[in-house]
Amino acid sequence: MSGLSWLPVALLAVPLLGALLLLAPPPALRRTLRLYGLAVSGVVLVLAAIMVATFEYGQAARMQFTLDLPWIPGLGVRFHLGVDGISLPLVALTALLTFLCFVYLGVGDGRGQGQLLRPRAGGSRPRALVFTLLVLEVGMIGTFLALDLLLFFVFFEIVLIPMYFLIAVWGGKARRAAAVKFILYTLLGSVVMLLGLLFIWAQAGTLDMVELAARHGAGMSRAVQVIAFLAVGIGLAVKTPMWPLHTWLPDAHTEAPTVGSVLLAGVLLKMGTYGFARIAIPVLPEGAAALAPWLGALAVVGIIYGSLACLAQRDLKRMIAYSSVGHMGFVLLGFATLTTVGINGALFANVAHGLITGLLFFLAGAIKERYSTADMPSITGLLATLPHLGSVLTFAAIASLGLPGLAGFWGEMLALLGAFDPAEALSRPLFLTFMVIGGLGAVLTAAYFLVMLSRVTHGLPGSKAVPVPPGTVLAASGPGDEATGPEASLAIGPSDETADARLEKTGERIGLLSHMPDIRRYEMAAWVPLIVLILLFGLWPGLLLSLTTPAVEALLGVVS
């Protein structure tokens, strides 16, 4: 496969050159900006597809498409890229989600509310947005391709800056504070992780992730491994996020624009969990074994905490953000078991969460645009007013709560199964307890999603929020503005009215609300691939599991 070693470089170079090209001639690209973003990310998607197609599935445990060049010999840093069964799905997921974000932004006439690339009076800086998204894509794909500890760290960090701007420039009302919180939190974690990585380097004498993984921690004492695992783990746990290091996440998600939320949930969180699978567990097996009970405990606390927090939320985006905390808890629980089953489940849940939560954030963005609020009690009867949107929301919610047959089910089931029979080094009763608590969390997850559905999709379409007439263009900070004035006049009348009068009013309201557009073309284009993949992985989990299993077995090597 060495003939295709240009492929990982191309995956990084195309979006990077695409972004740099935007800097050069300002007027030339302005008109075709939407198509430009679509084209560049489309090329990346095609490259990812080629990678998926030419990957040797028989040898999924082996690094393929490798490229290994010296970069900074003085530090022993190498430009080492490659993919195996663990990173391939994530690379493909990143390319897909970025492309879908551009589809969402750029397909159609571009006048939709979430389509930030449309020309607007206040200036939405479309060129900067395309630039930011492309740089973000470089960082995300690079993180999954890097096989050198410092190179991994570089890409891991490159992601933060475009994401900061995505939130701080195109976000909602409280965007500034959310962006600062996001960057400070994650930077703090990153520095701790950098220390851990340098510690590994100082002890093991190499930065090569393949070699370190093959050694399975040989040459590092148990104490060293525990310290390094702790440092690296904290850095990754901030990004994942693991309870109690999650507090940046709800704010960042709530304030980010739709595409930002989608990429944040769909890809950025995966970088944290990927780090566990790629670095923390294989390189530091003894450290992992020593700290796995703690990881598992925090994971199940995260599951329960996330679910309970979700039950208490009024804001739809915030609720989905907290649901990520819960789902990531399952992923971490899977890792904590240190078994093939558990880690497989974690990796599966990882990808599934990327697809499902990506879709959920697209939907939340769409709802927020239409109602100009994401306050759940203000939105009722979605299925009556916007039947298609309501149906897709229902689909995404039940996928997320883990209905068998959809992608959300397998990962969490396998993670719990892994906890039923954890690695030999771990205490079985403890993990059985985790499993039971995690199972309870799954029930709570179902509960909050069903409560959300019953609030939002069912009931009379008596929205207290003012629908946005089609074509209305809000100010730059639009999506965050909540309607205030005419609320009172549109609210359902006092209780002493007769039932007839109320029905009549409701009828009028349906008439009024029917001006709200149902799923638009660009939204459909962005969502259908996600829906299809959720169904595909739900019905045929083996597709993904066959890819990760050999790689997981290889990385566990000694442990299991």
Partner 1 sequence: MIQSIDYFAIAAPLILALVAGLVLLLDAFLPATRRVRTALGLVTLTGLLAALAFVVAQSPAAAQGLSTFCVPKALNTGPTPMCSFVVDHYTVVFAGLALVAGVVVVLLSMTELAGGGIPVGEWYFLLLCTLVGAVALPASRDLIMLVVALELVSLPVFALTALKRYDGRGSEAAVKLFVMSVVSTAVMLFGVSLLYGITGTVYLNRMAATLSGQLPAPGAPGALPSVVAVGVVLVTAGFAFKIAAVPFHSWAADVYQGAPIPIAALLSVISKAAGFAGLILVLVAALRGQAATWSPLIAILAALTMTVGNLLAMRQRSAVRLLAWSSVAQSGYILAPLAIAAGSGAAIAASMAYLVLYAAMNLGAFAVVMLVSRSSPRNELNDYRGLAFRTPVAGIALAFCLICLAGLPPGLAGLFAKVVVFREIVEGGLGWLAVVMAVNTVIGLYYYVAWTARVVTPAAAPAHKLARIHPATWVAVAATLAVAVLFSAAPQLVLTLTTLTG
Nearest distance in Å: CB 388, partner 1: 37
Please report how close the Cβ of residue 275 comes to partner 1 at its closest, in angstroms: 16
Given the complex with partner 1, which of 139 and 381 has the nearer CB atom?
Answer: 139
Look at residue 461 and give its three-state secondary structure: coil
Rounded distance, CA 293 to CA 432, Å?
Answer: 11
Vertex 403 angle, CA 398 and 404, to 5° = 150
* C-beta separation of 342 from 281 below 8 A: no
CB of 128 to partner 1, least distance (A): 9
**Residue 528 in tokens:** 């259908």
How many of the other CB atoms lie within 10 Å of CB of 140? 30
Q: 85 or 142, CB closer to partner 1?
A: 142
Which residue, 409, 360, 403, 385, is CA-closest to 513? 385
Tokens matching residue 360: 């959920």
Six token digits for residue 331: 């992923």
Report the residue number, 20 or 501, with the smaller CB distance to partner 1: 20
The CB-of-325 to partner 1 minimum distance in angstroms stands at: 24
Q: Is the bond into 241 cis (omega within 30 degrees of 0)?
A: yes
Instruction: Compute the distance between CA of residue 399 and CA of residue 360 in angstroms, rounded to an integer.
Output: 10
Quote the radius of gyration of the chain (alpha carbons, Å): 23
Token pair 């992608």 is found at 407
The residue assigned the tokens 């697209």 is 362
Residues that bind partner 1 (CB under 8 A): 71-75, 77, 123, 150, 153-155, 157-158, 160-161, 164-165, 168-169, 179-180, 183-184, 187-188, 191-192, 194-195, 198-199, 201-202
Q: Which is nearer to partner 1, 247 or 472 (CB)?
A: 247
Residue 235 Cβ vs partner 1, minimum distance, rounded to whole Å: 11
Cβ-based burial of 187 (10 A; exposed 0-12, middle 13-18, buried ≥19): middle
CB of 84 to partner 1, least distance (A): 24
Q: How far is residue 250's CA from residue 272's CA, in Å, rounded to a whole number?
A: 17
The distance of closest approach from Cβ of residue 73 to partner 1 in the complex, given in angstroms and rounded to an integer, is: 6
Closest approach of partner 1 to the CB of residue 507, in Å: 46
Q: What is the CA angle 308-313-317, rounded to 5? A: 115
**Alpha-carbon span 334 to 341, nearest angstrom:** 8
Q: Which is nearer to partner 1, 159 or 407 (CB)?
A: 159
Q: How far is the CB of 177 from partner 1 (least distance, A)?
A: 12
Residue whose CB is less far from partner 1, 183 or 393: 183
Nearer to partner 1, 135 or 437 (CB): 135
- Please report the beta strands in 318-439, taking only residues with DSSP state E, as ranges in sequence order: none
Asked if 153 contacts 235 with a C-beta cutoff of 8 angstroms, the reply is: no
* Cβ nearer to partner 1, comparing 59 with 206: 206
Q: For residues 59 and 203, which CB has a smaller minimum distance to partner 1 in the complex?
A: 203
The distance in angstroms from the start CA to the end CA of the chain is: 30
Nearer to partner 1, 195 or 417 (CB): 195
Which residues lie across from 67 on neighbouring strands? 81
Closer to partner 1 by CB, 192 or 291: give it: 192
Q: Which residues neighbour 243 within 8 Å (Cβ) at sequence distance 6 or greater?
A: 298, 299, 301, 302, 305, 306, 325, 329
Shorter beta-carbon distance to partner 1: residue 157 or 375: 157
DSSP for 112-159, please give it: STT-TTS--SS---HHHHHHHHHHHHHHHHHHHHB-BHHHHHHHHHHT
Provide the minimum distance between the beta carbon of 233 and partner 1 in the complex, in angstroms, as a whole number: 16
Task: Kindly state the smallest distance separating residue 158's Cβ from partner 1, in Å.
Answer: 5
Q: Which two tokens stand for residue 16?
A: 């990077």
**CB of 202: closest distance to partner 1 in angstroms?**
5
Give residue 383's Cα distance to chain centre: 26
